[in-house]
Amino acid sequence: MRPMSRTAADQKSLKEKKSPQSSLSIDENVELHHIQFNESFAEMNRSMNKWQKVAGATMLSGSFTALILIWEKHYVYFPAPHTSEEEWAAKQTKRMLDVKVSPIQGFSAKWDYDKNEWKKEEPATHPSEPCLLCHLHAAPATVVLQCQS
């Protein structure tokens, strides 16, 4: 900002001058402009470098957030339970197989106790007589022929 060169009384007297603008001096013209608009055109269009403040604030808040997350990880969260370890999962699976959990359709049904390994998945076999769903998906002409015979 430019320093104030005139007092309020001088500004009031400058405003009240009834002479045309061309008769005023350059300094008086500039001062009159500053009284009315507070800034010159050059001062109004100067670069403010606001992007630097925005970028700085964004980086500062991002850094602060990262520090909070690091602090939380260290002091707030508990360590992972032993049940999430692979070794424990293997022991638990072995125990479930030894106890024969769900031997008919469940977990133990998929284990081959003779070979001591997981059973191979067999593809589902289609029954000898087609099901209703197969009739519905067949071509309409085929369905009519099957119904007639």
pLDDT over 50 (residue 143) = no
Pick from 9-18, 34-43, 119-128 the range whose average pLDDT is largest: 34-43
DSSP symbols for 10-76? HHHHHHH--S-GGGS-HHHHHHHHHHHHSS-HHHHTS---HHHHHHHHHHHHHHHHHHHHHHIIIII
* pTM: predicted TM-score of the whole model, two decimal places: 0.36
Say which DSSP state 7 is in: -
Q: Is the pLDDT of residue 67 over 70?
A: yes
> Where do the structural domains in the chain lie, given as residue ranges?
8-44, 48-77, 82-117
